Chain A
């Protein structure tokens, strides 16, 4: 069976197909998980803790996720548009959702170079 990411706290549990995660943003001591069905879910973990969960639970599938700076983890499958000057990153499946997030110019530059290197 396909691996699911499980985020468990003392009172609840989230179990989700990693492909259904568009991005996860940091809200201080909490994180907001934005799903492909346009729902959002807040979890009581810091972004760094979520990153560790992705890494340990999903193994190689976790490499599909990219940590961008202190505040974002994005699903690289949904990276649709990068604009360094406007510090804009659009995450979209080009059909049912499109989310715009911001990141530093240097981080976006590295992201752009990473994708460029894939086609060289």
Chain B
């Protein structure tokens, strides 16, 4: 393919031809650039000459080894896992913990012996292998499509970069992050994995600011020192306050899950189902959006 030059926002070009540009301004750029190069060259030449002279006058053989300044060792504090130790032989379940951070009551859902995946469409609530479900990606109001890139079991269902946060599940490894272009999208398509995008909340332990300022029940999927869990605010919170709660909880990376009254559930170790949100699509037979998507955890 023919190599095309970059284009500025104030330029146009017929495809396949060179950019149209203001000739006089381009000539001016060339003249200014040439003058700048000559001036820089002269200054560098003078500086080098001066330096050579002063080095010849000043340099003495070194008698001492160069001083090595020891930097203070970084203190690493081992974070305790939030979830308890569970044997691999135990049946999968979600450990549910309520706590209060910054006066914000939150519920933490920690899955044990389970694998994360995604699902599009209505869920089967009688499927006992599902121990956690929550809505994942947003659905576009105009055409019902999925907002942002989405891969379902290796099959790309949507492309796009509306939101910079992403979560990928590939061969059981979960990665949560904030990037414009994540190679994990391609990797998920090649390996039968899962990938979706949502608002970023926490990146490398710091709050990510989002434009939305309204308050609502917030949900998220988080990575805290390698431990993956979901957090839900039990009161209506702004994105900022909720993200700050996650940071104060010690979360390294977190992205949003659809909050407010969106429906989902978690199954605890006694097999009891804890529902959240409003089950309009399930109980009242309200028409479910074609591309509604869920993040689910299934028992191993």
| Nearest Cβ on chain A to B264's Cβ, whole angstroms | 28
Residue with the greatest number of chain A CB neighbours at <10 A, chosen from B1, B10, B181 = B10
Contact partners of B16 in chain A: CB under 8 A = 54-55, 62-63
Tell me, in angstroms, the Cα distance from A79 to B66 when the chains sit together: 69
Residue of B nearest to A57 (CB): B1
Tell me, in angstroms, the Cα distance from A29 to B185 when the chains sit together: 12
User: Beyond the given A54-B16, A103-B9, could you list 14 further A-B residue pairs with CB under 8 A, ordered by the A residue number?
Assistant: A10-B186, A28-B180, A51-B15, A52-B1, A55-B15, A63-B14, A63-B15, A63-B17, A66-B14, A67-B7, A67-B15, A69-B8, A73-B15, A111-B12
Q: How many B residues have CB within 8 A of the partner chain?
A: 28
Contacts A28-B161, A63-B16, A63-B17: A56 and B1 contacting too (C-beta < 8 A)? Answer: yes
Q: Are B12 and A67 in contact (CB under 8 A)?
A: yes
With beta carbons under 8 angstroms apart, the residue of A28, A54, A111 that contacts B15 is: A54
Contact partners of A114 in chain B: CB under 8 A = 12, 20
Q: Are A42 and B9 in contact (CB under 8 A)?
A: no
| Nearest Cβ on chain A to B18's Cβ, whole angstroms | 11
Q: Are A70 and B1 in contact (CB under 8 A)?
A: no
- A/B interface sample: 8 pairs, CB < 8 A: A28-B161, A48-B4, A55-B16, A56-B1, A66-B14, A67-B13, A73-B15, A103-B9
Q: Are B8 and A70 in contact (CB under 8 A)?
A: yes
Contact partners of B121 in chain A: CB under 8 A = none
| Nearest Cβ on chain A to B24's Cβ, whole angstroms | 14
Tell me, in angstroms, the Cα distance from A67 to B16 when the chains sit together: 9
Please give the residue numbers on chain A whose beta carbons come within 8 Å of chain B beta carbons, in ascending order.
10-12, 27-30, 40, 42-44, 48, 51-56, 62-71, 73, 76, 103-107, 110-111, 114
| Nearest Cβ on chain B to A34's Cβ, whole angstroms | 12
| Nearest Cβ on chain B to A29's Cβ, whole angstroms | 4
Residue of A nearest to B154 (CB): A11
Q: Are B189 and A11 in contact (CB under 8 A)?
A: yes
Q: Are A51 and B10 in contact (CB under 8 A)?
A: no
Residue of B nearest to A47 (CB): B7
Contact partners of B7 in chain A: CB under 8 A = 67, 69-70
Contact partners of B11 in chain A: CB under 8 A = 69, 106-107, 110
Tell me, in angstroms, the Cα distance from A53 to B1 when the chains sit together: 7
Contact partners of A55 in chain B: CB under 8 A = 1-2, 4, 15-16
Tell me, in angstroms, the Cα distance from A10 to B11 when the chains sit together: 32
B30 at interface by CB-CB < 8 Å:
no
Contact with A along B131-173 (1 / 0, CB 8 A): 0000000000001000000000001101111000000000000
Interface residues of B in 1-39 (CB under 8 A from A): 1-4, 6-17, 20
Contacts A51-B4, A55-B15, A62-B16: A104 and B181 contacting too (C-beta < 8 A)? Answer: no
Residue of B nearest to A65 (CB): B15
| Nearest Cβ on chain B to A72's Cβ, whole angstroms | 9
